[in-house]
């Protein structure tokens, strides 16, 4: 009987972020605990200028649950050469 479907067994794959998945669950942070330090930098626009926000944090993740502790946050105002014109 042909219904257009076929069986496939694929225990390992990659998601859109190129993280390794095992049976659809991430290997790091899912099956294997993940502990690590990370830094996030993002840019935001305010009324007068652009600002840079840098956060440093510690991540503990296992079985798709995570605890994140932010230990440093730095906000920098980026100079605009056209300000005041």
pLDDT in tens, the chain (85 residues): 567 777 777 889 998 888 899 988 889 888 899 999 999 999 988 777 788 999 999 999 988 889 999 999 999 888 766 554 5
C-alpha–C-alpha distance, residues 42 and 75, integer Å = 10
Domain boundaries, the chain: 34-85
pLDDT at residue 7 in the model: 76
pLDDT at residue 55 in the model: 96
C-alpha–C-alpha distance, residues 42 and 48, integer Å = 17
C-alpha–C-alpha distance, residues 64 and 57, integer Å = 18
- Please report which helix (H) or strand (E) contains residue 12, including its range: strand 12-14
pLDDT at residue 81 in the model: 63
C-alpha–C-alpha distance, residues 35 and 62, integer Å = 9
């Amino acid at each position: 009987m042909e219904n257009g479907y076929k069986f496939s067994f694929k225990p390992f794959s990659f998601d859109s972020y190129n993280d390794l998945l095992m049976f659809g669950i991430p290997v790091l942070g899912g099956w294997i605990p993940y502990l690590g330090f990370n830094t996030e930098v993002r840019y935001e626009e305010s009324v007068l200028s652009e600002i840079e926000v840098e956060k440093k944090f510690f991540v503990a993740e296992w079985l798709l649950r995570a605890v994140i502790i932010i230990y440093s946050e730095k906000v920098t105002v980026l100079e605009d050469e056209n300000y005041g014109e």
